[in-house]
Structure 1
């Protein structure tokens, strides 16, 4: 489920599942990085008008994270519903900076940041595996979505 609350914010609701948790019943910290990626993937069709899969499978462009970090304020537990709030904080020639906040019923639980690069996935190209410029049409749609200084 995805929702939006105005320009520059993408929200993804997630039900915390048993498999997301450690033996103590709280979300195992690496799962948050997967949640951040899920938010980014759903942001593409929701706000940019492109399927993420279109870029990967058809256009042969990937968006791997080259830097990621997170801070955890309160635990999230099995059975809870949390929301990932995503903002774009920086747009480079071949990179996109994201900021994330994880919210539960009691407020913010965690924050995160990541930088993704645009990577050529076409194995036939001499540029395969290298960063490439963000396509102009995608850049325009990201700018229309809005940048945040969060």
Structure 2
């Protein structure tokens, strides 16, 4: 499976008074990393929406395992991989590394959605095979 990487520098405002990352910020970075992952595979979110008539891929479940703290000034790398596709859902794993050491693992389940017929809500829709193929055949980046 395709793995993308992006670098994040920990800013002062990302941290709590103990100068470690306030944990919700990891989930913010993981969310941005999922969007980056689609872009790195050649399907930036606006293109995904335009091409397939979807409205996005909301998160329906998330968790994390914290191994080492990150602090103000640290430069970390987030590796993102879609590990499984269902019919309309997909599982995403993130690995946040500092100096090559695992600090945090993040896990997401997301669902591809479109507008309902009446336009009042959203409903799941199948992940197109072409989308799945991009994550099976794209090289690491």
TM-score normalised by L of structure 2 = 0.86
- Runs (4+) of structure 1 exceeding 6 A deviation are none
Partner of 1:28: 22
Q: CA RMSD in A?
A: 2.1
TM-score normalised by L of structure 1 = 0.81
Size of the aligned set, in residue pairs, is: 137
Distance in 1 between residues matched to 2:138 and 2:26, nearest whole Å: 23
**Deviations 1:72-92, CA, capped at 9 Å, x for gaps:** 111101111001111121111
Alpha-carbon deviation of 1:61? Answer: 2.5
Partner of 1:64: 58
Alpha-carbon deviation of 1:106? Answer: 5.9
Matched, 1:79 2:35: no
Superposed, 1:40-55 pairs within 5 Å as: 40-47=34-41, 49-55=42-48
Alpha-carbon deviation of 1:142? Answer: 2.2
Q: Tell me which of 113, 137, 140 is aligned to 1:144.
A: 137
Distance in 2 between residues matched to 1:94 and 1:27, nearest whole Å: 33
Alpha-carbon deviation of 1:57? Answer: 6.6
Partner of 2:128: 135
Partner of 1:117: 111
Partner of 1:19: 13
Higher relative contact order (CA 8 A, sep 6+): 2
Distance in 2 between residues matched to 1:41 and 1:132, nearest whole Å: 18
Q: Which sits farther off after the overlay, 109-118 or 99-108?
A: 99-108
Unaligned residue ranges in structure 1 (runs of 5+): 1-6
Distance in 2 between residues matched to 1:133 and 1:64, nearest whole Å: 14
Alpha-carbon deviation of 1:55? Answer: 2.9
Alpha-carbon deviation of 1:144? Answer: 1.8
